[in-house]
Amino acid sequence: MKQMKIYLAFITSFLFSGICFSQITEPAPYCGAGYLDVFGGLNHHISSVELNTLNNVSGAVATPAPHYIYYNDLPATDLERGSTQDLIINHSGGVTIHMIAAWIDFNNDGDFTDVGEKIGEEHWPPATELTFTFTVPATAAIGVTRMRVRVYEDDDYTFSELDPPALPCEHSALGVDTDFGEGETEDYDVNITDPDDEVELTALFTPEGATICSDEEITYTDESISEDGVTAWNWTFDGGLPAVAATEGPHNVLYDTPGVYDVTLEVTDATGVHDTTFTITVLEDCDEIEAVFTPTDLDICVGDCLNFEDASVGIGIVEYAWTFSDPAIGGPIIGEETGLVCFDNPGEQLVTLTITNGVVVDDTTITINVRELPAVTITADPGTEVCEGDEVTLSGGGALTYLWSGGIEDGVVFNPLFTETYVVIGEDDFGCFGEAEITINVVICEPVIADFESLEEICVGDCITFVDQSIGEPVTWAWDFGGLDISEDQNPIFCFETAGEVNVSLTVTNAAGDEAMYNNLITVFDAPTVNAAHDTIVDLGGSASLIANGSDVNGTYIWSPDDNVVCEDCPITTVNPSENQTYIVVHTSANGCSSSDSVVVLVNFIEGVGVATAFSPNYDGNNDVLFVQGYGIKQMYFAVYNRYGELMFETTEQNIGWDGTFMGKEQNSGVFHWLLQYELVDGKSGMQKGNTTLIK
């Protein structure tokens, strides 16, 4: 039973060191380093500090105001003179942190103001982990001294190198308030050592201090330091049984009377004698404690604040820790009173009070039901922009009752005189309040007039783009195409597939809800019918008749392609194609609507190419020019020579012939030689030579 209570004492120490019971919030003899608050509701804080053997994880939120803590319960890490060290700081905010800095009081004079005691400083650190590398001065004072780490935000930051340097004390620079009011400071013990120092005899034992109940035992274990080895031990246990001991131990000591007693160990080695004294506190009836507290309410709304009244039962309660499941509250809050605590997250939030008398721990938890605020909405009819003189109705949603600014009533029409922002507070059935706002813009409006541009007579199958020409800044468009279709586009496209009269209407609405309508009657004509006849076959050089019969006696006809067409705008015409050809006729009625048909003429290709044996260029209009004759010639070369071989004429065009002259002079009668090279449309080619007689 006694050993179990000693074990419980160790559990107690461990639990409350985790919630900062054994740390202190007074920096003496060093300057104050507290902060006013966190920045904008954000916890700008130190998450962990690592230096040599020190590795302290201080948590995901800042300590309570003044956001300063001295971790005097942690062993001082050893820093040798002349050694290079890495101080690793994890913090919360990345670029939202204004400054991080650290100091070590190397000369151990109780302040951080000496040159060389700032071991690192960073403005706007880019990451959440920062490393300061520094060298311990060779002249640093031997022994335990203080290290300070600070992180803070500055409401007056300049985002420039003009920011003042980080300071170890409070939040002012050169007597001027810089509003460095938000952040966290942590102090630690470090031990400056000299690598050349000899190990001195030191009496040490554990535990160094403890609190137990009366009639309990505690075990003391020797931890003394000696280079040559301890040769003698002299223990004194005031108030304990046994009262003395002369061996190394460990020693189990019983305390049966409440009080505060000294425990002394004196050790001896070859160099001399050294002693150390610690105290032990013995409590009476320390098992009888019970954590009890009462909140001012159990059912609240988001944003409400509560007080918690401690009503714990028991004697000798020395520590109180309040923890909250709502991460926005942070904590723990240390002390018998919490002050006003505000809940910003909805749901069932747990509040736990943990107490101890130094040996026994007890806790209790109460659930606070934090209700969501109503999500208040606003609708404006006809909208958030109205014309001068027009009315609007504002209606709230998402709550039970509504209270409006500006003296307006929920759901009641009113006439706004100028642009104004209206705020509504909605209350739900539990009594939680939500808020929303809306701005009604009052504008000077010109009258809205509907108008659009379109043709009045069209043909079946035509697709028309209707161009809106309305005035008055409409914001919506409603088109009705005679019940055939509707559209909300500003400039829609509509295809007319049925003949007849179609009434097209456009209704436009401006931002204030004013409407206007415009109608236009459109006549849709049927397309005429046309029939082209007849598909036929002709020999190369022959002709074929093209016949078109259209339904409109007053209509027109156009044949294409018009090559080799005798009359391209006649309903009946003749063609003499040199190759297979499809002819299309377009018949257009008197109202402008058209239709088309086609006829195919196939050409039976018969090769027939040649040059006349005689011609008479006497200008009587009969056989005056020597041409290449034939059909279906795709390309050619024709040349004429005199009997001496001189070139008289050449051409590559079938419609250009020799008129019997050379260099402007008429040639005498005689026999002339010619050469013809050709390629036909069917791909065949050939060459001919011959003689032609020029007759006068």
- Does residue 474 lie in a domain region? yes
- Does residue 23 lie in a domain region? no
CA-based max dimension of the chain: 167
CA distance 530 to 567: 18
Residues 68 and 136 in one domain: yes
Residues 108 and 239 in one domain: no
* Band of pLDDT at residue 97, cut at 50, 70 and 90: low
- Does residue 10 lie in a domain region? no
- Does residue 25 lie in a domain region? no
Quick one: tokens of 358?
């130094």
Which one of 323, 353, 371 terminates a domain? 371
Residues 624 and 585 in one domain: no
- Does residue 200 lie in a domain region? no
Which one of 134, 163, 193 terminates a domain? 193
Any idea what the CATH number is for the domain that residue 176 is in?
2.60.40.10
- Does residue 667 lie in a domain region? yes
Neighbours of 448 (CB within 10 A): 21
Identify the helix (H) or strand (E) that includes residue 277. strand 272-283
* Band of pLDDT at residue 432, cut at 50, 70 and 90: very high
Q: Does pLDDT of 168 surpass 70? A: yes
* Cα angle 675, 679, 680; round to 5: 125
Instruction: Look at 11-20, 138-147, 403-412 and tell me which has the smallest mean pLDDT.
Output: 11-20
pLDDT at 187: 92
CA distance 234 to 502: 120
Q: Does pLDDT of 178 surpass 50? A: no
- Count Cα atoms within 13 angstroms, Cβ side, for 531: 4
Residues 416 and 278 in one domain: no
Which one of 224, 249, 283 terminates a domain? 283
The pLDDT tens digits of the residues spanning 539-558 come to 777 888 899 998 888 899 99
pLDDT at 553: 87
Residue 225 class from Cβ within 10 Å (0-12 exposed, 13-18 middle, 19+ buried)?
middle
Mean pLDDT for 397-420 is 93
Residues 614 and 662 in one domain: yes
- Does residue 317 lie in a domain region? yes
Domain encompassing residue 560: 530-604
- Give how many domains the chain has, as a whole number: 7
* Band of pLDDT at residue 601, cut at 50, 70 and 90: confident
Residues 57 and 179 in one domain: yes
Residues 274 and 293 in one domain: no
Residues 51 and 173 in one domain: yes
The pLDDT tens digits of the residues spanning 603-653 come to 776 677 888 888 899 888 888 999 998 878 889 999 999 989 999 999 999
Q: Does pLDDT of 459 surpass 70? A: yes
pLDDT at 96: 53
Residues 219 and 312 in one domain: no
Residues 84 and 129 in one domain: yes
Residues 74 and 147 in one domain: yes
Paired sense of beta strands 305-306 and 319-324, if any: unpaired
Residues 61 and 188 in one domain: yes
- Count Cα atoms within 13 angstroms, Cβ side, for 147: 26
- Does residue 56 lie in a domain region? yes
Q: Rg of the chain's alpha carbons, rounded to an integer?
A: 55
